[in-house]
Amino acid sequence: MIDSLYPLVRPILFSMDGERAHAVTFQMLEMAHTLGMLGGHESKAQDAVTLMGLRFPNRVGLAAGLDKNAKHIDALGALGFGFIEAGTVTAQPQTGNATPRLFRLPEVQALINRMGFPNEGAEAIAQRLASRTFAGPCGINIGKNAVTPLEDAARNYVECFRVVAPHADYVTVNVSSPNTANLRQLQQVDQLRPILDALLEARVQLTSSTGRALPILVKVSPDLTSEDFAAIARLVRELRIDGMIATNTTITRDAVKGVKNSEQQGGLSGAPIRPLALKSIPVLREHLGAQVPLIAAGGIDSGEAAVAALQAGADLIQIYTGLIYRGPRLVKEIVAAVAAFTRSARPAANPG
């Protein structure tokens, strides 16, 4: 039922400020979930896949950024997602950048945001994670507090990790957002290595107390060179990091020149970044090898786009901006397309 309602309410939502529309959408989603209007979107057993020691009911997930404070995991899960990634979360609460900081580019099905990781902090998010009922894997995307200097980044990431990790199914290290000053410098291998080393050490301590080795992933920018992608992938393999996500938003504007709001500062997401994000996947796959899971994100707004990402070498799919423009029916479309592709193209790969 929610699928048919969204096209009717979208014009109203798009008449509002972006963040106000975001809040109203979640109010509607929670109401629909409470009333049972989201339906029972159960994945078929043959669509499940096991990666990083986690069983994903299907290969389609929600990217970080939509549910920053992990308030709506159960309602979002009811839309049919195989996994949810909440955040970005920081060790200490922060308000993010000044408003307005979210802009639509409907002509090209895109968004520009300069949110700056506004969130309620690791402690609040951890409490919500502990009470979720969503059965699929739930990851947490962690970032650096804006006030933390780069030289102290490793400590700050570990501080956040220690709080959220006991309640997460995986943790993604966000060193690729363009909206925290100088954060993307942390993608340089010499700066990324100490962060990952510190997180791996913290994970050893977590494993000794919980008995499970929580998967750690790294999310990268689409604006890196092929050499940069290769260097990070080699580091990931060397340190035995569990996976990667390609990609975050872009600061480039070539694909949206002349479009209203394209001059706004921040990260561009949606359809215009699809070619850029897709281009990174074969490079990463080449240097990661066949065994390291790779999640595709960036401009995936149709079943066809999702299949293209799998063909390029991705194992899982994440969506965000496409959901804003197309609504909940996009989840079903991509789940169906991905299932059809995996059954026909690689039916024996990664059995669930």
- The residues carrying an active-site annotation are 177
Residues with Cβ within 8 Å of residue 39, at least 6 apart in sequence = 1, 2, 78
Contact in structure between 174 and 141 (CB atoms under 8 Å): yes
Where do we find the tokens 């689409």? 222
Residue among 230, 266, 256, 246 nearest 100 (CA): 266
Question: Is the sign of the CA dihedral 304, 75, 320, 260 positive or negative?
Answer: positive
Tokens standing for 124?
Answer: 């609040």
Name the H helices within 165-300: 189-210, 226-239, 274-288
State the CB neighbour count (10 A cutoff) for residue 279: 15
Burial class (CB in 10 A: 0-12, 13-18, 19+), 349: exposed
- Give the sheet arrangement for strand 110-113, strand by strand: 102-105, 110-113, 267-270
Tokens standing for 121?
Answer: 């902090």
Rounded CA separation 122/334 (Å) = 31
Residues with Cβ within 8 Å of residue 258, at least 6 apart in sequence = none
Q: Which helix (H) or strand (E) holds 129?
A: helix 122-130
